[in-house]
A and B are shown apart, each in its own frame.
Chain A
Amino acid sequence: MAKVHVTTSINGEPMEFLCEPSDTMLDALRGPLALTGSKEGCASGDCGACSITLDDRLVCSCLMLAVESEGHEIRTIEGLAQGERLHPLQQKFLEMAALQCGICTSGMLVASDALLKKNPDPSEEEVRFWLAGNLCRCTGYDKIVRAVMETAAEMRAH
């Protein structure tokens, strides 16, 4: 089958790519777009390691077809920092050791950023339920939850 031409925006940049009609957005990101920050842990939407946002809505890129990005705004982990300046969540994850192996980290950060945009003052329970779609097998989530809450507090103060 012929490949499909897709025009979209990724991390604020206009982007074009070719994909199979059956390719997932994760396939496109990791393949022709060479953005490998989004990871494939399960390909079934259960681990959240491939989390991205589509028009500011948090999605698992493994559950979305690449062609569905046509005309929409995609954001990935590669777009979280502004040049040399880390996003406050990235900085806090580093300071508070909120990562161990690091494979879930991209998805955790994208999901946490989406949460704080929606709710700048989440309770611990809200953080835990929001991040329930992002599996982490190393940290026990403790430091991740603390980092998200502390970032939220700092961002509210500024």
Chain B
Amino acid sequence: MNLVTNNKWIGQRTIRPDGMDKVTGRAQFAADTTMPGMIWGKVLRSPHPHARIRSIDTSKAEKLPGVKAVVTSKDIVDFPIEKGAVMLGIQDMRWMCRNVMARDKALFPGHPIAAVAATTEAIAEEACKLIEVDYEVLPWSIEIDDALKLDAPILHEFNKFDGKPSNIVGRLEHKKGDIERGFEQADIVIERTFTTRPVHQGYIEPHACLISVAPDGKTTIWSSSQGQFMVRAMTAYLTGIPQSDIRAIPAEIGGGFGGKTIVYLEPLATLLAKKSGRPVKMVMTREEVMRATGPTSGSKSTVKIGATKDGKIVAAHGTFYLQAGAFPGSPIRGAAGCSFTPYDIPNLLSEGYDVCSNRSKVAAYRAPGAPIGAYAVECVLDEVAEALKIDPLDFRLKNAAKEGTKAAHGPVFPRIGYIETVEAAKASPHYAAPLGDGNGKLRGRGVASGFWFNAGGESSAQVNITEDGNVVVTTGHPDIGGSRAGIANICAELLGIDYRRVSVIIGDTQTVGFSNLTGGSRVLFASAMVVTQSTEKIIQTLRERAAKIWEIDPEAVKWENGAAHPASPNAGQFEPLTLEELAEKAPAMGGPIGAGVQLNTQGADGGFGTHVCDVEVDVDLGIARVIRYTAVQDVGRAIHPGYVEGQLQGGVAQGIGWALNEEYIYTKEGKVDNPGFLDYRMPVCSDLPMIDCIMVEIPNPKHPQGVKGVGEVPLVPVMAAVANAIYNALGKRFYALPMSPPKVLEKLEGPMQQAAE
């Protein structure tokens, strides 16, 4: 391991390079961009949850003055089902081409049917209403139980499960030992079934893009996404334009949490721009975001855990059914693969089922699937610990995975930091503090742990020294939560210069090498690697340049504090040559100084967290409030502690929303009934307490700075921690999310009604 020690910038709370633009309103998000001659695109969406599309007549819309182009699924490249999967990352283009625009069937209310571009947004909307669609309305199902019924309407007739047409479109299992023999050894076995509702990522910025297509097909896309290269590739696949002709420019991104890892608007706007010859802007309304993008799965899980009297888990069985929405692809890997991972369980079977139903296709959401699995597992663990009269954190310690443990999903763990997170939670002032008096409200405390895989993958960087001796770093990952700050810290540290001399920009697809999505908690892990290697190449060049000037061997030059120095007194006596001086001499000494690196980064370590949550429940109103929260996580190495804490705090806030209030509610007609921020109730400032963070730092030995991904783990344990705390407060356990006031009151058997009577 080559860890930098005595750091000047790594670990410091520096000011992010893009911060000034964001606090002054200058930052350019996708909807902020305009172009001369620009027109507006709007989408006509299906009102039905399930309907065969017999015909679409766009002639009236086309004749409306101001309308410049109309597109339907005929304009989008088809990827026939029978020809097999066409994978782009984890997305199958067969589903993507049908998700961006319905082909033969509309599969959810909000499914795009056609798109129009017109000189104003109002005309485009008006034109959408003039499109005549002949639907054959079909029976539909939203909930898992309904989709699995024997007579359930089948969304995709081609799909077979157990030889029969089915809405189960995928299954995976992780297996270890023999669960039947394991459960025989158990003194106590607890089995419970849990349900969760679909929840939206809830980024504040709706999807938006502006696209220009020149007559020669050269296409420029400005859009908000978690990956400009994903935007380029998917748009190319779906429009038939070669990737080399598409320049995808990443706008600043106003939140994503996984929800902006696929495209919705870009292929439609590209086709509209191509047909009309005008730049086309498309911006979703909040209602469109809620009806037709994301969310993550609703779920039904059954978890059975067996343990001996002395507190050792001997067997576990988890079955996780997750809603995929209209097309295959729910995060069963995260649910089945992460939920038992913090524990060393000798006999284990973890199964995931991917279930289609008539709601929008799910998108990734922060540790996709893992929070759903952890909710079920960590609640059952709480029950087992209680039955065995063992402190829940001691119970976790007794069964904790550690170096050498073989995880059910495959790997044998290297040095991991799970135990340290449990110990830190146990030693925290929070865990030791008395719950205090609730002043008539009931208080409780709960704990839970969580795991997420974390990822490496493709990343590219270019580091250039400017003529005045400063530094420009270009990477290919949209900065969604402060990654530029971490990159500036690392580059400045390596070069030994002030971090303010490092400018970090996000390159577009045609100016920086391929870089995979901002997702999987991979960005700082991967970009730090390519930035480090690029910077090391530059330092090598700088040493060579100094050696040439001093007429000594490059090996006799060391780089320190932003300057070349003789490596030892034997090398000779020379005044240091600073970065500025070497940059000034560059034209005469071999030319520009820059280096780029492209890697498929490897060695990402999984991440573990343990949370402690206090709640206060108003039994008259059914309102549960989180009053104190501590998130402990092994973060590997906090390159910028402020933004690492921010990830922890933000993940916890989302989890509290998921636990207590957030859910998709449907009408009798199968439509989302709460498609806005008023009724889809995300936590606001006054709903939350301060969120304490304890960062455990067990450096990743396979990373130059010890980085582990940090963005996703913080959401994983939250719902279970809140549920366990509410149980502790009320003595009643919830097996369904959200634990919203009506559900809490129902559980309390209506004390308010009784009081009223």
Choose from A78, A99, A101, A132 the contact partner of B684 (Cβ within 8 Å).
Answer: A132
Does chain A have a CB within 8 A of B441?
A: no
Which residues B646-685 have CB closer than 8 A to chain A? 646-647, 649-654, 676-678, 682, 684-685
Supply 4 further A-B pairs (C-beta < 8 A) apart from A35-B25, A41-B677, A137-B650.
A49-B204, A94-B23, A101-B480, A102-B27
Residue pair B678, A103 in contact (C-beta under 8 Å): no
The answer, yes or no, to whether B95 is at the interface (CB within 8 Å) is no
**Given the known A-B contacts A37-B24, A101-B254, are A136 and B204 also in contact in the complex, defined by CB atoms under 8 Å?**
yes
Residue of A nearest to B202 (CB): A137
Residues from chain B with Cβ under 8 Å of A104 in the complex: 204, 254
Please determine whether B691 and A94 come into contact, CB atoms closer than 8 angstroms: no
Could you tell me the distance in whole angstroms from the C-beta of A22 to the nearest C-beta in chain B?
9
- Residues of chain B contacted by A146 (CB below 8 angstroms): 690
The answer to whether A135 and B690 touch across the interface, beta carbons within 8 angstroms, is: no
Q: Shortest distance in angstroms between A90's beta carbon and chain B's nearest beta carbon?
A: 4
A138 within 8 A of B: yes
Q: Which residues of A contact B646 (CB under 8 A)?
A: 97, 100, 138-140, 143
**Per-residue A-contact encoding for B143-183, CB less than 8 Å = 1, 0 else:** 00000000000000000000000000000000000000000
Residue A46 at the chain B interface, CB threshold 8 Å: yes
Q: Are B285 and A43 in contact (CB under 8 A)?
A: yes
User: Which A residues are CB-close (under 8 A) to B257?
Assistant: 137
Residue A151 lies at the interface, judged by CB distance under 8 Å to chain B? no
Least CB distance, B200 to chain A, in whole angstroms: 10
Q: B690 touches which one: A97, A103, A145 (CB < 8 A)?
A: A145
Residue of A nearest to B657 (CB): A137
> Quick check: A102 and B22 within 8 Å, CB to CB?
yes
A residues near B203, Cβ cutoff 8 Å: 101, 103, 137
What residues of B have a CB within 8 angstroms of the CB of A93 in the complex? Answer: 19, 23
Q: Assess whether B15 is interfacial by the CB under 8 Å rule.
A: yes
The answer to whether B643 has its CB under 8 Å from any CB of chain A is: yes
A47 to B254 Cα, complex, angstroms:
13
Output the least CB separation between B644 and chain A (Å).
Answer: 9
Q: Mark B26-68, 1 if CB is under 8 A from A, else 0.
A: 1111011000000000000000000000000000000000000
Instruction: Assess the B653–A141 pair: CB atoms within 8 A.
Output: yes
In this complex, how many residues of chain B approach chain A with their Cβ under 8 Å: the count is: 58
Chain A residues within an 8 Å CB radius of B285: 43
Q: Which residues from A are CB-within-8-Å of B650? A: 100, 137-140
CB distance from A35 to the nearest CB of B (A): 8
CB distance B643 to A100 under 8 Å? yes
Given known pairs A42-B676, A140-B649, the reply for A78 and B25 (CB within 8 Å) is: yes
**Is B688's CB under 8 angstroms from A140's CB?**
yes
Instruction: Give A126's nearest chain B residue, CB to CB.
Output: B686
Known: A36-B32, A102-B27, A128-B685. A143 touches B676 (CB 8 A): no
- Chain A residues near B (Cβ < 8 Å): 30, 35-44, 46-47, 49, 76-78, 80-81, 86, 90, 93-97, 99-106, 109, 124-125, 127-129, 131-146
**Given A46-B677, A101-B254, A103-B255 in contact, is the A76-B206 Cβ separation under 8 Å?**
no
**Cβ contact within 8 Å between A97 and B13:** yes
Residue B642 interfacial (CB < 8 Å): yes
- Quick check: A140 and B25 within 8 Å, CB to CB? no
Task: State whether B677 touches A42 (Cβ < 8 A).
Answer: yes
Complex-state Cα separation, A78 to B677, whole angstroms: 26
Closest B residue, CB atoms, query A110: B25
Q: Write the chain B residue with the least CB distance to A144.
A: B685
Q: How far is the CA of A86 from the CA of B25 in the complex (A)?
A: 12
**Interface membership of chain B positions 196-237, coded 1 if the CB is closer than 8 angstroms to chain A and 0 otherwise:** 000001111110000000000000000000000000000000
Chain B neighbourhood of A105, CB < 8 A: 22-23
- B677–A137 CB distance below 8 A: no
Chain A residues with Cβ below 8 Å from B255 are 100-101, 103, 137-138
B684 & A135 in contact (Cβ 8 Å cutoff): yes
* Contact A46 B205, beta carbon cutoff 8 Å: no
User: Beyond A39-B29, A94-B15, A145-B690, is A132–B24 a contact (Cβ under 8 Å)?
Assistant: no
Q: A40 contacts B25, CB within 8 Å?
A: no
Nearest chain A CB to B291 CB, angstrom units = 14
Please, what's the 1-or-0 string for B678-716, where 1 marks a CB less than 8 Å from any CB in chain A? 100010111110110000000000000000000000000
Q: By CB atoms of chain B within 10 A, which of A99, A131, A142 has the most?
A: A142
Q: A39-B254, A44-B677, A46-B676 are in contact. Are A96 and B23 (CB under 8 A)?
A: no
Chain A proximity mask over B5-22: 1 for CB below 8 Å, otherwise 0: 000000001011011101
Q: Given A97-B16, A145-B690, do A103 and B685 touch, yes or no (CB 8 Å)?
A: no
Rank and list the top 6 A-B pairs by shortest CB-CB distance, nearest first.
Answer: A37-B25, A103-B254, A97-B642, A140-B649, A140-B653, A102-B22
Selected from B15, B16, B19, B205, the residue in CB contact (under 8 A) with A103 is: B205
The answer to whether A131 touches B685, judged by C-beta atoms less than 8 angstroms apart, is: yes
- Residues from chain A with a CB closer than 8 A to the CB of B26 are 37
B480 A100 Cβ-Cβ under 8 A: yes
The minimal Cβ–Cβ distance linking A151 to chain B, given in whole angstroms, is 12
Once A100-B646, A101-B203, A143-B645 are accepted as A-B contacts, the answer to whether A43 and B286 lie under 8 Å apart by CB is yes
Interface residues of B (CB under 8 A from A): 13, 15-16, 18-20, 22-29, 31-32, 201-206, 252-257, 283, 285-286, 480-482, 485, 640, 642-643, 645-647, 649-654, 676-678, 682, 684-688, 690-691
Cβ–Cβ contact A44 & B678, under 8 A: yes
Smallest beta-carbon distance B522→chain A, Å:
17
Select from chain A the residue with minimum beta-carbon distance to B655: A140
- The CA-CA distance from A124 to B688 in the complex, in Å, is 11
- A103 CA to B255 CA, complexed, in Å: 8
In the complex, which of the residues B13, B256, B652 contacts A140, with contact meaning CB atoms closer than 8 Å?
B652
B24 proximity list for chain A (CB < 8 A): 37, 77-78, 80-81, 86, 90
Of all chain B residues, the one with the shortest Cβ separation from A103 is B254
Report how far A140 CA is from B202 CA in the complex, Å.
13
Kindly provide the distance from the CB of B293 to the nearest chain A CB, expressed in whole angstroms: 14
Given A36-B32, A41-B204, A96 contacting B642 (CB threshold 8 A) = yes
- 10 examples of A-B residue contacts, CB within 8 angstroms: A36-B28, A41-B677, A76-B25, A101-B253, A103-B29, A132-B684, A132-B686, A138-B646, A143-B646, A143-B649
Complex Cα spacing A125 to B201, Å: 27
Contact B649 A142 (CB under 8 A): yes
Residues in B whose Cβ lies below 8 Å from that of A145 = 685, 690
Q: Tell me, rounded to whole Å, the shortest Cβ–Cβ distance linking B15 to chain A.
A: 5
Question: In the complex, what residue of chain A is closest to B27 when comparing beta carbons?
Answer: A102
Chain A hits for B642, CB < 8 A: 96-97, 143
Rounded to whole angstroms, the CA-CA distance of A58 and B20 in the bound complex is: 23
Q: What's the least CB distance linking B32 to chain A, in Å?
A: 4
Per the bound structure, the CA–CA distance linking A95 and B480 in Å amounts to 18
For the complex, give the distance between the alpha carbons of A76 and B481 in Å.
24
Supposing A38-B25, A90-B23, A94-B20 touch, asked if A101 and B481 sit within 8 A by C-beta, the answer is yes
What is the minimal beta-carbon distance from B676 to any residue of chain A, in angstroms?
Answer: 6
A141 pairs with B31, CB closer than 8 A: no
Cβ of A40: which chain B residues have Cβ within 8 Å of it? 31, 206, 283
Complex interface: chain B residues within 8 A of A142 (CB): 645, 649, 688, 690-691
- Give the chain B neighbours of A139 by CB distance below 8 A: 646, 649-650, 653
Q: What is the bound-complex CA distance between A13 and B434, given in angstroms? A: 56
A127 to B678, CA, bound (A): 21
CA distance A125 to B16 in the complex (A): 28
Contact pick for A109, options B13, B23, B652, CB 8 Å? B23
CB distance from A141 to the nearest CB of B (A): 5
Shortest distance from the beta carbon of B363 to any chain A beta carbon, whole Å: 15
Please tell me which one of the listed residues A96, A97, A134 contacts residue B685 in the complex, with CB atoms under 8 A apart: A134
Highest count of chain A CB atoms <10 Å: which of B253, B285, B690: B690
Contacts of A76 in B (CB 8 A): 25
Contact A41 B25 (CB under 8 A): no
Kindly provide the distance from the CB of B221 to the nearest chain A CB, expressed in whole angstroms.
19
Query: What is the chain B residue whose CB lies nearest that of A87?
Result: B23
Min C-beta distance of A77 to chain B, whole Å: 4
Of A47, A104, A125, most buried by chain B (CB within 10 Å of CB) is: A47
B15 cross-chain contacts in A, Cβ below 8 A: 94-95
Residues of the B chain whose Cβ atoms lie less than 8 Å from the Cβ of A100: 255, 480-482, 643, 646-647, 650
